[in-house]
Amino acid sequence: MSKYMVNLKINNTPIQVEEGTTILEAAKLLNFRIPTLCNHPDLSVAGNCRVCVVEVKGARLLAASCATPVSEGMEVNTNSEKVRIARKHVIELLLSEHNVDCTKCFKNGHCELQELASEYRFGDHIFIDLVKDRDKVRDISSPSISRDASKCIRCQRCVRTCDELQSVSALAVVNKGDHQYITTFLNKPLNDVVCTNCGQCINRCPTGALYERNYIEDVWQAIYDPNKFVVVETAPATRVALGEDLGIETGVRVTGKMVSALRKIGFNKVLDTDFTADLTIMEEGTELLTRLKKALVDKDETVKLPLMTSCSPGWVKYQEHMYPELIDNLSSCKSPQQMFGALAKTYYADKINIKAENMVVVSIMPCTAKKFECNRPEMRDSGFKDVDYVLTTRELAMMIKQAGIEFDKLEDESYDSILGESTGAGVIFGTTGGVMEAALRTAYEIITGNEVPFTNLNIKPVRGMEGVKEASIKIKNTKPEWNFLEGVELNVAVAHGLANAKQLMDAVKSGKSNYHFIEVMGCPGGCIGGGGQPIPTSAEIRKRRAEAIYAEDMGKTIRKSHENPEVIEVYKEYLSQPLGHKSHELLHTHYKVRKRY
């Protein structure tokens, strides 16, 4: 059905747009930038901050351009005197309720309100300061996410994120009028409520009201301590986004520069979580095949299928809170981050002759939930805290700046060995569908001896940004030991963002689905859209980061986890076999039923 086209003028420039387009969107097409705060491309329209007001000829009141659709013959002025005065007052009123301690704020330099204030250069404030209890409203209970209500401008982006994208609603608006504020159930500490620590709210908060619990100073202390051997691991998705915080265009891979910068910062060894991503595939792939065998051959009815991935700690905690009845469907595999920590302080420490107690493992993650994960009591199988500190991609960018490193001028360097080698399969863990694709590349080959039947190993049906993706692969020409899978149609599903995961889980719970294996990533787009990634985020930005991930995969000589030479070596020298005794001890974990309420 063709849409009606609407003619209007913005700042005297005529434009024709589809019916239903907002003034804000139409102005953007003409390159007129209208400032916004409560508006976000990933979220529904709220229209509550009023920063985007414009003058519409003939209308008595100014219109919020984000919430006003165009109409035929409309004449809009985005910068009339009336608009300018109103907009300045709106920003100043927001500032009067905002704790303006910018120099002390963790979001300093990354705050949309600060940017607007700097555009308009207010000078003296004309409104009285209305910030209440400025020192009493910080919630630092969570190891992942901190909140400072004195910075909140009540735009409700976080509330909409937690509800619309994540189906969690840990945050809500309470009270009304000037008593209104954003909080948890009965103002409980964030760590005590249903929050999954995904950090998507941080990515969308326009101010410093939500920010990651940061461990930058702790990491510097460890680096400066001559008695500590500091090992750093980097997640797949950091390398395709770090550049954004350091003046490099979105979607440009900075793997080599990142490794170089980490060395210059002073880490003793620069290693790769992608290595343990490959290892995860070996363990999780074997777990899948074992469960399938139990179900199909031994007719064991207690075996839990579909198997669900467990790499994303936001997703894992979501499952613990929301679907405790499906908790045993989660793979017992630790996430690659935690497998890395457990191996670093055992196998690796022995190999390089460093005492585990002197080793500090730092991981660079696109994720805030990883900070919670490394603090879980289960994550101490090496006898120590397996991963000591988790930094977000953003925190690493800050460290690089603090160290005075000119990032764009760095030469590419390679990861140290061992625990630094990875395959294309490990890399694609960083985007939605990647774990599934990596697992299928390996599992199919284990079962049949042949490569997966997709051109260039690219399993396209599980790629892309659709909320829930499904694929079926018919297993043909199995090896004799796997002949029970001959002709079996392996059904898989992939979801990213917890609202999509909810859909999938409801289907599984109702018993109507026939999946064998499900991948879920807590964040929209998977790790490339993680809560620890550079701000801002949008569908376009996530798409470009994902393309960079697949480009990195294509550029790798080895693209299947089971062919990673270091993975082969670690099994030969130490672990013996997937799901073996040592693996169970170090690489697997269990989950905890948590209250939803």
Partner 1 sequence: MTTIEVLIHDLVEKHGKNRNALMPVLQGVVACEKFLSEEAMIAVARELDLSAADVYGTASFYTFLDTKPRGKNIIRVCKTISCHMQGKDAIIKAIESHLMVKVGETSPDKKFTLLSANCLGWCHKGPVMLINDEVFPSVTPEKAIEIIENFAKKTI
Among residues 166 and 312, whose Cβ is nearest to partner 1? 166
**520-539 binders of partner 1 (CB under 8 A):** none
CB of 597 to partner 1, least distance (A): 4
Supply φ then ψ for residue 164, to 5 degrees. Answer: -75, -40
Among 11, 48, 96, 169, binds partner 1 (CB under 8 A): 169
| 353 contacts partner 1 (rule: CB under 8 A) | no
Block residue for tokens 């908790």: 327
| 597 contacts partner 1 (rule: CB under 8 A) | yes
Please say if 373 is a catalytic residue: yes
How far, in Å, CA of 291 to CA of 304, rounded? Answer: 7
**Stretch near partner 1 under the rule CB under 8 A, chosen from 92-100, 169-177, 534-542, 581-589:** 169-177
| 174 contacts partner 1 (rule: CB under 8 A) | yes
Please say if 19 is a catalytic residue: no
Among residues 128 and 186, whose Cβ is nearest to partner 1? 186
Q: Tell me the residue ranges of DSSP E strands in 78-195.
A: 138-139, 145-148, 172-174, 181-183
**Hey, what are 6's tokens?**
């609407």
Contact 493, 508 (CB under 8 A): no
How far, in Å, CA of 367 to CA of 319, rounded? Answer: 17
Among 2, 12, 175, 353, binds partner 1 (CB under 8 A): 175
**138-167 binders of partner 1 (CB under 8 A):** 163
Task: Tell me the number of residues near partner 1 by CB under 8 A.
Answer: 18
- From the candidates 65, 144, 310, 331, give the one annotated as an active-site residue: 331
How far, in Å, CA of 279 to CA of 438, rounded? Answer: 11
SS3 269: strand
| 183 contacts partner 1 (rule: CB under 8 A) | yes
User: Do you know the residue count of the chain?
Assistant: 597
Sketch the per residue contact string, 193 through 222, with partner 1: x for CB under 8 A, - otherwise. Answer: xx----------------------------
- From the candidates 244, 373, 519, 566, give the one annotated as an active-site residue: 373
Residue 245 CB neighbour total at 10 angstroms: 20
Nearest to 173 by CA among 183, 185, 163: 183
Among 60, 121, 136, 176, binds partner 1 (CB under 8 A): 176
| 185 contacts partner 1 (rule: CB under 8 A) | yes
CB of 175 to partner 1, least distance (A): 5
| 170 contacts partner 1 (rule: CB under 8 A) | yes
Which amino acid appears at position 282 of this protein? M
- From the candidates 55, 112, 283, 287, give the one annotated as an active-site residue: 287
Q: CA geometry: angle at 213 spanning 207 and 218, to 5°? A: 130
Among residues 193 and 231, whose Cβ is nearest to partner 1? 193
Please say if 287 is a catalytic residue: yes
Supply φ then ψ for residue 267, to 5 degrees. Answer: -65, 140
Please say if 293 is a catalytic residue: no
Among residues 187 and 450, whose Cβ is nearest to partner 1? 187
Please say if 311 is a catalytic residue: yes
Contact 173, 153 (CB under 8 A): no
- From the candidates 269, 370, 371, 469, give the one annotated as an active-site residue: 370
User: Distance between alpha carbon 138 and the CA centroid of its chain, in Å?
Assistant: 24
| 510 contacts partner 1 (rule: CB under 8 A) | no
Among residues 320 and 519, whose Cβ is nearest to partner 1? 320
How far, in Å, CA of 595 to CA of 597, rounded? Answer: 5
How far, in Å, CA of 573 to CA of 407, rounded? Answer: 38
In 510-554, which residue ranges form alpha helices assigned H by DSSP? Answer: 539-554
Q: Which residues pair with 490 in a beta bridge?
A: 473
| 168 contacts partner 1 (rule: CB under 8 A) | yes
Binding site for partner 1 (CB under 8 A): 163, 168-176, 183-186, 193-194, 596-597
Q: What residues are annotated to the active site? A: 284, 287, 311, 331, 370, 373, 378, 527
